[in-house]
Amino acid sequence: MVEWTDFERATIQDIFSKMDYESVGHNALARCLVVYPWTQRYFGNFGNLYNAAAIMGNPKVAAHGAVVLHGLDRAVKNMDNIKATYAELSVLHSEKLHVDPDNFRLLADCLTIVVASRLGTGFTADVQAAFQKFLAVVGAALRKQYH
């Protein structure tokens, strides 16, 4: 089971309590589609993803980014049982959506960059370590039901 220090718990709660889910989710997913263009293959019915401006302005990208971020909320509220919390989502991503689990890390990296750019100097090294640990645990939980 994952052990969380008091600092790590407080940091994760603090970051998410102040987060604008719609804006951050939109930004993180859009970055993923721009910086790692092969990820666009999962969104064939999203319409125009032809260039960065199109991706940033695409309403389906914005909506789906918000969906993903709100999904992260469940981990934030169940930090001591992230694996079980995401068991169904893991099965969904594997069996129905056929998402290569490497992509969880790519999205996590883009989300880290968005949060870093919003928090500025408030995104200290300790905060970065806690946030990346949280996203690593989330990624592992989403990967869990794949094999």
Partner 1 sequence: MVEWSDAERSAIAAVWGKLNLDEVGPQALGRVLIVYPWTQRYFGTFGDLSNAAAILGNPKVANHGKVVLGALDKAVKNLDNIKGTYANLSQLHCEKLNVDPDNFRLLADCLTIVIATKFGAAFPPQVQATWQKLMAVVVAALTSRYF
Residues between 87 and 106 that touch partner 1 (CB under 8 A): none
Shortest approach of partner 1 to residue 113 CB, angstroms?
5
Choose, by CB under 8 A, the member of 10, 50, 52, 67 that binds partner 1.
52
56 sits near partner 1 (criterion: CB under 8 A): yes
Shortest approach of partner 1 to residue 14 CB, angstroms?
16
CB nearer partner 1, residue 18 or residue 77: 18
Tokens of 68: 């993903």
Residues between 108 and 137 that touch partner 1 (CB under 8 A): 109, 112-114, 116-121, 123-126, 128-129, 132
Helix and strand counts by DSSP (H, E) for the chain: 8, 0
Shortest approach of partner 1 to residue 141 CB, angstroms?
20
Give dist(CA 119, CA 32) in Å, integer.
Answer: 20
Residues that bind partner 1 (CB under 8 A): 27, 30-31, 34-35, 52, 55-56, 109, 112-114, 116-121, 123-126, 128-129, 132
